[in-house]
Amino acid sequence: MPRKTRRRKTFPREVETALLEFSMYNPQYGGGSSAKTGIIVVDNKRFRYWDRSGGTVLGGNNVTQPCFILLFSRGDEAALQSVGEGNTCSMDYGATSRQLVRAAVALAIHRGAKQLTLTDNSTKKLPNKKWFRLSDMNMMTNGQTWYETIIPGLIPDSDYTEEVTEYRRIVTSATWSSISTCLGDPIDLTDPMFDGTTPGSAMTVFKGMKDAKTDFFADYRVGLLRCYGLSSLFGSSWVADLIATSPHYSDINVIDS
């Protein structure tokens, strides 16, 4: 019998180009054996990954400086570790850390993980070397942590459920007048239509501060938590059901080389 011809799997042009370029960067590990490698395409930004032994997967653009680490403890569980700055982590300059997280989650789904865990250590470093915690800033501006805005269905680990629920209740109901007074009236709001005594008005102000990309959250990162009477969510543990999350990642291509 004549042999059947296997039809070649085809990908979009940008993915074909990525795989061609990626073949030049296939790293070798001890004993001369190649690690399993591939490409993740998020919003036309391409990230490499290296699947090492022991359930560890490195992702980014340089195997010696990985921008994320996925640890697979069991066949259906993955832990996201060490997410870096996105702009130097892809094959294409200008990727964001948000895209990097989406790449990591898509890879976990691709590998068959049903649950993802992470520790929220998200921090924003400004060009002037100031910094603030993204989890706190995002909570104060929209009632969600930074990771929650990226991974639909992400929930706090049971040890943090009560703390996060109370944190969310406080920041979504706080008035601008109370927070501003506690901070020493750091800005002058002259809009006569704005009522700073309305519950939730603090969040309205902070949304504007975030959109304006000021140093406010870095300058007042300690004072804000004190005035709210809260502890930072930095270091809190979170978990996502990847079966429920996967439809939100259907637009991301993961290609094993």
For residue 248, the model assigns a pLDDT of 96
Phi-psi region of 129 (alpha: psi -120 to 50; beta: other; left: phi over 0): left
For residue 176, the model assigns a pLDDT of 96
For residue 198, the model assigns a pLDDT of 96
Nearest to 215 by CA among 186, 248, 180: 186
* Residue whose entry in the numeric block shows the structure tokens 């300059």: 93
* CA dist., res. 82 & res. 238, Å (int): 15
Nearest to 20 by CA among 89, 91, 87, 88: 91
For residue 52, the model assigns a pLDDT of 84
> How would you write the pLDDT of the chain (257 residues) with one tens digit per residue?
333 333 333 334 444 444 344 333 343 333 333 458 999 999 999 999 999 877 899 999 988 889 999 999 866 999 999 888 767 899 988 889 999 999 999 999 999 999 999 999 999 999 999 999 999 999 999 999 999 999 999 999 999 999 999 999 999 999 999 999 999 999 888 788 899 999 999 999 999 999 999 999 999 999 999 999 999 999 999 999 999 999 999 999 999 98
CB 164 within 8 A of CB 186: no
For residue 146, the model assigns a pLDDT of 96
Phi, psi of 88 (to 5 degrees): -110, 10
Task: Check the CA dihedral 230-126-48-11 and report its sign.
Answer: positive
For residue 82, the model assigns a pLDDT of 80
State how beta strands 131-133 and 123-125 pair. Answer: antiparallel
Q: Domain residues of the chain, as ranges?
A: 11-121+236-257, 122-234
Strand partners, 74: 77
How many of the other CB atoms lie within 10 Å of CB of 32?
A: 6
* CA dist., res. 65 & res. 89, Å (int): 9
Amino acid residing at 136: D
For residue 90, the model assigns a pLDDT of 92
Judged by DSSP in three states, 104 sits in helix
CB 131 within 8 A of CB 100: no
